[in-house]
Each structure stands twice: as C-alpha cells, then as structure tokens.
Structure 1
Amino acid sequence: MSRNTTVSCLTAAPLPFDAATDLEEIVERTVDFWGRRLEDVLPDQPDIIVLPETVDRPSASTFGPERLLEYYHHRGTRVRDYFAEVARQNGCHIAYSAVMFVDGIGQNCTQILDRSGAVVGDYAKNFLVIDENETLGLSYGQRAQCFDLDFGRVGSAICFDLNFDEVRTAYVQAKPELLLFSSEYHGGLMQNYWAYSLRAYLAACVRPPAPSAILSPLGEVVATSTNYFEHVTQTVNLDYAILHLDGHWTKLADIKRKYGPGVGIHDPGRLGPVLLTSESNDFSVTDIVAEFDLELLDDYLARARRHRAEHL
C-alpha cells in the first residue's frame, strides 16, 4: 500500500555567543531560537523532522573545548526534552542530533524521538573527527542499526561517517528505507552514492551555507533547501522497489496498462534501474512484484555475479 511519509530537514548555523555568556542564558536562547525555527516546518505536519549535527552547540568560533564541555554538562537533556515535547504536541518524530553524556561517557549521537516524545532510537557517530575524541574526549560509536518506526525503517549517520564504507556496508545489510544524515559538512557526491547504494531515501540535514536535501533511492535529489530558506519538506512514498530495466521492459508496460496511476514507474535516465511505487491503497509494491514476477535490482546483480563465476 502507498506509504506517503512527510520528511522535513530543518537547519541553521550555530548561534553565536560570547564565551563569557551565562550558560543558562545559552540554553534558554537556544530553545527559544529552535522554537521559532520549528514554525517553518510544523505547518506541513511532517512525520519526521531531521535536525543538523550538534544542533544545540554554540558557535565554535567563540567556545573553546573546556567551555563547550561545561555547557554540555550544564545543558544536560533539557534541549532534547524540549524537542521531545514538540514531538508529543505535534504527533511527529524528531531526529535530535547532539553531544550527550551518559554516566560520564560522551558521544556525538542522533536520538530519534517518537510521536509521544520517547527516545526510540539512538545512533552514536561511528567515525568521529579525531579532534572530537582527543579534544572533547568523546567516545566512538560501534553500531550502525535500523529502527522500525510507525511509518518505516530508518537508520542514521553523522557527518564524517559518510567517508567510511564500514558504516555504509553495515546499512546495506540492515536495509533502511530512510537514512537520516545530520551533518556539519555536505558530503557532495557521497550523498547520492549512499542513497543509491543503500536503495534508500536519504534525508540530509546540513549546516548552511551548504543545502539540505532529500534524495531518492536512485540517488537523485528530489527536494532541497535554498539560499532563501534553510529548511526543506518533501513527501516520499516508502512503498517502493528498485529493479533494473533488463528483462522488465514489457512487464513494466503491462503493469502500467493494468494499474495506470495506481503505480509509479520512475526512470532517472542513464542508470538502468527504475523506482517502482504503489500509489494505491488496494495493493502494495510487493504484490506487484509477485504478480508480475519481477526481479529486484540486488537479486539481478547477484545473478549476474553467479553467472560470471560459473563461466570463468
């Protein structure tokens, strides 16, 4: 069945504070700032709002590591608790990305808040920038896992992670439908490659001036923030399958003739694979795959590998 899911990426540059600013004032002004920013996306009634890496960190240009750590300990969970209340009041999920300390152990992590405000997923950045460990004393994350939310299966990655195949291949195996990417840096073509490699939508919430964007499982940008608006919202259909055109030309035509607008068939061009979606409430894309005996892209590629091995 069609699973239309509305995704928002909401970002901003870190707030500038003088290093001597009272820590309680920083917490209060941070909450007030993000409360006003949330009004840019809440009217769209998103299923999930993705925030940038270390969303509540003051500007690094004025805060040294000692003062920054002092702020994190003073802040505690209060900013997260604020976002949890927003999630509860608006019936949405929020991906809160921040440095958090638990039992004295600090990590750069993304915590997924559900529609009740509860933490239902927690991803710690697997590949810290070295200074995060040596200067701030943060610990490396050791897992890349998915969480099954009420709208679909999601995973998370943070900033520098995008450079490392260890994280990417773990998610290839875990098979998220939507990857949440909170970051200080954009990642360039790696965003497109990760989305296509994972066969998953990617919601990239990036600190400006780089744009935030939502990418399809074919690696295409389907929506992006602009120089005027530091947020982007897009509805995506998580009832999808990816298959190669080889062996499917006639079948795809037959599917379209039978179901018309009840199915979506999107060809990005120059790639070979297409995105098949169910746009109906009467059947799922899995039903279509079974009815027309379609071969998913990864199964097709695996068959090609086997054939090569058998004929060497």
Structure 2
Amino acid sequence: MARHVTVSSVTSYPFVADPSISHGALLDALIDHWTARIATVLPDRPDLIVLPEHGDRPLAHWYPLRHFPIEQVAEFTAYKGDQLRDALSEIAVANRARIAYSGYRTDEQGLLRNSTQLIGVDGEVVGVYDKNYLTIPEHGVRGVSHGERMQVIETDIGRIAPVICFDLNFEQGLRELAPQRPELILFSSAYHGGFMQQYWAYACRAHLVSSVWSDNRSPIISPVGEVVASTTNYYSEVTTRINLDCAVLHIDENGKRFADVKRKYGPKVSIHDPGRVGVVLLTAESDDLSVADVMTEFGLVDVDDYFGRSLEERERALSEDPSAD
C-alpha cells in the first residue's frame, strides 16, 4: 500500500565563527542557528529532516576557506558532547519528526568520528553511521577514524542508509550498500557529487535525500534517478512527499503487461517512464493495494531479478558454446 513520507532537506552556508569565541557561546550559537533553520520546514510537518555534513563544525572563514585549528575543533567536540544532538532531539519530539544530524562525535572507544546520527520521533537515536571513506587530510591531519561498513538502519518509516560526502566516490561502498536494499539514502555532504547522487539512487533502487552546503543545490531524487524536488539559489530548504511503496522494473518482458495493470487499477498505480534507461518506476497510490500485490498478480519482476536472470542466461550460453574458449 502507499507509504508516503514527507522529507525535508535543510542546509545552509557553513557556520562561520570567530576562533576566539568561547565553547559555550559557540554551542549556543549553533543550537540557535539550526533551530531557526529547521523551523523553516516545520509548517510542512515533515516525517524526516536531513541536515548537512559538518553542521556542528565551525569555520573561521568560508571564502577563502579557513578552518579552526584542529586542536580547537577537538576541544569543542569534547565540550559539545551530545548537547547539540539533545537540542535536536527536543525538536524531533515536539514535532513528531525524525532528524538526520551529521557532525563530529567521540565514540565509546574515544575515537573521533564523522557521523550521521538518526534521531527518532521519541528523541532517541535510532542508529549511527560513521563515514567510511575519509579524505586523506580528514584522517591524517584531523585524526578522524574510518567507519568500517556501509549500513542500513531499520526504522518505522523504512530502511534508511546514511551516506556522507566523500563516500559517494567509491564503488566499493556502493557495491556493499546496494544488496542491503535501502529504501531511502540520506546524503549529508560538503560536496555536491553531481550525477553520482543520481547514480547511487538508481543503483540502490532507492530515493535519495541530499543536504549539501549552500550554495550548492540539494536535490531529492527518485529510484530512477530523477530530481523530484530541490533547494534553489534562493532557498536552502525544500520539502516534498515521496512514496516508498515502489519498485524499479525493466520494460523487457514486463512492458507487455503494463496496459493490463492500468486497465484494472487505473490511478491506484503509477507506471512512470523516465526515458532512455529502459526502466519504469511502479508505485502503489492506494491504501488497499501494494506494489508487491500488483507484481505477483501480473507476474512482474523487478529490475535486479531480470538482470540476474540475464546474467545466468549468458553464463549458461557461454558454458554450452564450444567456441567461447
């Protein structure tokens, strides 16, 4: 059945502060900043709010870029502890929203991590993802420790996979994540990633919500790689409604049944063709019908099953062809 989720991307320019500011004043300023930024989307009653990477790491200057000394960042991270996260938890509880908060934290072993913490509607942390693929300076100069695995977090609204910035460059991470079948990728970042955002969404057959430092645009992308909503050069927040009861199907074999599906169910299902890639996005738009039901009834198979069968057929043919050697 339809599983509509209202998602918001909230971003901003990096937070710039005077390096002489006290830890307490800096923390208060960051809490005020993100409280005000999140307030811009609360009238839309989002189910999920995604914040950018390093939302809690101040800069001494944005352009040209000038960082706080790493020792000062480490001291502030220790001082901050969970205080900013706890302030976001209060917003989550008050508004029945989930918040993906991305920033530095010190883990249970005392290691500095670049993490996304997913806060639930009860204010508790549902799951934590540690950035797997760090830049060389991030690890070698700033002392951040690598995460060890790409992961999916099971939540009450679906299977969510946080991904952070430099991660998007690595096919190894994508190959690890895609078989876990996330339904929603949360991309918190300081760099945009360009078409790689669309590539990851399509490869994982998942919606992707990005939150990237302004003045980059932060798109929300469908499982067939289409931008369905985006921040703009004028507004650094965006909210839209997506439906997680969907599947990506190849037109081969399935296509001959699409007319029968529409004749029977009409507007209760959507069969959307993005063009050029030979796939459609099948979505259930009714509370009394699911994509799984439709696929079973009409003998439809998702694109990964179809591609898998195609590979098996190739292997069989090559094994039987004496000229293949």
TM-score band, normalised by shorter chain: over 0.9
Match of 1:178 in 2: 184
Distance (Å, rounded) in 1 between the aligned partners of 2:202 and 2:89: 31
How does 1:182-193 map onto structure 2 within 5 Å?
Answer: 182-193=188-199
Specify which of 75, 79, 83 is matched with residue 78 of structure 1. 83
Structure 2 contact 15–55 (Cα < 8 Å) conserved:
no
Return the alpha-carbon distance in structure 2 between the equivalents of residues 189 and 197 of structure 1.
12
Q: Deviations over 1:189-223 (max 9, x none)?
A: 11111000000001111001111110000011111
Contact 1:18 1:62 in 2 (8 A): no
Structure 2 unaligned segments of length 5 or more: list them.
61-65, 319-325
Cα distance, 1:38 vs structure 2: 1.1
Do 1:16 and 1:62's aligned partners in 2 also have CA atoms closer than 8 Å? no
Find 1:66's aligned residue among 68, 71, 74: 71
Quick one: distance in 2 between partners of 1:289 and 1:52?
A: 37
1:93 to 62, 75, 98: 98
Shift of 1:34: 1.0
> Which of 136, 140, 148 lines up with 1:142 in the alignment?
148
Give, in angstroms, the shift of residue 39 of structure 1. Answer: 1.3
SS in 1 for 2:103: strand
Worse overlay, 40-49 or 58-67: 58-67
The match for 1:38 is 38
Measured after TM superposition, the shift of residue 303 of structure 1 is 1.1
Q: 1:259 aligns with which of 261, 265, 274?
A: 265
Aligned length: 312
SS at match of 1:107: strand
Distance 1:29 1:180 in 2: 25
Q: How much does 1:248 deviate?
A: 2.2
Question: In the alignment, is residue 197 of structure 1 matched against residue 199 of structure 2?
Answer: no
Query: 8 Å contact 1:19–1:62 — kept in the other structure?
Result: no
Residue number in structure 2 paired with 1:112? 118
What's the secondary structure of 2:173's corresponding residue? helix
Secondary structure at the counterpart of residue 14 of structure 1: coil
Query: What secondary structure, in the 3-state scheme, does the structure 2 residue paired with 1:252 have?
Result: helix
TM-superposed CA distance for 1:234, in Å, is 1.1
Whether the 8 Å contact between 1:17 and 1:62 is mirrored in structure 2 is: no
Task: Please report how far the alpha carbon of residue 67 of structure 1 lies from its aligned counterpart in structure 2 after TM superposition.
Answer: 1.3
* Aligned twin of 2:127: 121
Bigger mean CA offset, 245-254 vs 80-89: 245-254
Runs of 4+ with >3 A deviation: none
- The answer as to whether partners of 2:101 and 2:117 remain within 8 angstroms in 1 is yes
Q: Report the RMSD for the aligned CA atoms in angstroms.
A: 1.0
TM-score scaled by length of structure 2: 0.94
The one-letter amino acid of 1:194's match is W
* Alignment-mate amino acid for residue 3 of structure 2: R
Kept after mapping to 2: 8 A contact 1:129/1:160: yes
Distance 1:164 1:233 in 2: 28
Q: Does 1:308 align with 2:314?
A: yes
Task: Return closer, same or farther for 1:62/1:166 CA change in 2, 3 Å cut-off.
Answer: closer
Cα shift at 1:62: 4.9
Deviations 1:151-197 (A, max 9, x none): 11111110000011121111111100000110000001111110000
| Aligned equivalents of 1:137, 1:62: Cα separation in 2 | 15
Distance in 2 separating the partners of 1:166 and 1:270: 26
The CA distance in 2 between the partners of 1:279 and 1:101, in whole Å, is 43
What letter matches 1:164 in structure 2? F
SS in 2 for 1:71: helix
Structure 1 residue 150 displacement after superposition = 1.0
The answer for the alignment partner of 2:214 in structure 1 is 208
Could you say which residue in structure 2 is the equivalent of 1:229? Answer: 235
Q: Is the contact made by 1:168 and 1:194 (CA closer than 8 Å) also made in structure 2?
A: yes
Supply the distance in 2 between the matched residues of 1:195 and 1:15 (Cα, whole angstroms): 29
Matched residues in 2 for 1:145 and 1:18: separation? Answer: 37
Q: Give the partner amino acid of 2:24.
A: E
Contact persistence 2:6–2:242 (CA under 8 A): yes
Mapped to 2, the partners of 1:296 and 1:34 lie a distance apart of 40
Q: Which residue does the alignment assign to 2:299?
A: 293
| Residue aligned with 2:59, SS | coil
Residue matched to 1:133: 139
- What does residue range 277-292 of structure 1 map to in structure 2 within 5 Å? 277-292=283-298
1:249 aligns with 2:249: no
1:275 aligns to 2:281 (yes or no): yes
Please give the secondary structure, in 2, of the residue aligned with 1:209.
coil
User: Which whole-Å CA distance do the structure 1 matches of 2:67 and 2:120 have between them?
Assistant: 34
Q: Which amino acid aligns with 2:82?
A: T
